[in-house]
Amino acid sequence: MSRNKNSAILLISCPDQKGLNAAIAEFIFRNNGNILHADEHQDEDLGLFLMRVEWDLADFAIPMTDFAQHFAPIAKKFGMEWSLSNSSHRPNVALFVSKYDHCLADLLYRHRSGELACEIPLVISNHLDVQALADFYRIPLQVVPVTKENKSEAEKRELELLAPLKIDLIVLARYMQVLSPDFIRKYPHRIINIHHSFLPAFVGGKPHHQAYQRGVKLIGATSHYVTEVLDDGPIIEQDVVRISHRDTLEDLIQKGRDLEKVVLSRAVRWHIESRILLYGNKTVIFD
């Protein structure tokens, strides 16, 4: 996505029916909008229509603040659930990390290079190990130690740190703590995690050890939204790499880390660019 583009992005989910494309395109045309991209998907089993449409706002007749009231008759007619975003908006993203810093380093680099069109006002960690990395990128780091005894107090402190920053998205960049249901409910479908296996295989804390013992020929990484069920949220992106009997456990871990960085950064970028539409426990990723 061009960083200089001023466009509106509409995500739509509704029962599949005739006239949807025509109604949406006609609404945008009637209000002097120029469609830049349109992508859609029909789920035949559920009878659902899912769409992402993006249009130029340069000559669009409706201010974004008034869009809802103008679009309401169409949304009501077709039973739409929808959300609107602006490509110029830079969401506030908080990064959570423990000791492994490879995903954090990748995200911070992509942010500085302009690949991730967001603001990163805060990194939260339960260890001091990433202090030098945060300092290098001039991102404030808050260390909140977590133990079995203080987990509730630690999460309360983390929420206190997030609240004034109006955080839009939390990214768990190898944050090795399980968030409580209460914490997750405060950011529904706004927490992205990277799991170091090809889910649903090898859930839990040491998937590479499980994969090595099982003698698999492929290992993977999975980025998903966090839900109250561990490692079971809607999957955003996955990738795999081939391994062989010659690879040691350390080789699997190193290859896995390379995958994790790429898979997580893709998921974060797609979320920021409003390319993800959730339905049920699935996601549609629009081009």
Residues with a catalytic annotation lie at 231
User: By CB neighbour count within 10 A (0-12 exposed, 13-18 middle, 19+ buried), where does 172 fall?
Assistant: buried
**138-161: string of b/e by CB count within 10 Å (b at 16+)?**
ebebeebebeeeeeeebbebbeeb
Spatial neighbors of 239 by CB under 8 A, at least 6 apart, are: 220, 221, 259, 262, 263
Q: How many C-beta atoms surround the C-beta of residue 165 within 10 A?
A: 14
DSSP 3-state assignment of 243? coil
Q: Which tokens in the block code for residue 141?
A: 């780091």
Query: How many angstroms separate the CA atoms of 161 and 218, rounded?
Result: 40
Spatial neighbors of 234 by CB under 8 A, at least 6 apart, are: 189, 224, 225, 227, 278, 280, 281, 282, 283
CA-CA distances (angstroms) from residue 144 to 1, 51, 92? Answer: 35, 40, 20
Query: How many angstroms separate the CA atoms of 230 and 137, rounded?
Result: 31
CA-CA distances (angstroms) from residue 90 to 71, 85, 93, 282? Answer: 24, 10, 9, 25
DSSP 3-state assignment of 226? coil
Residue 111: what are its φ and ψ, rounded to 5°? -65, -50
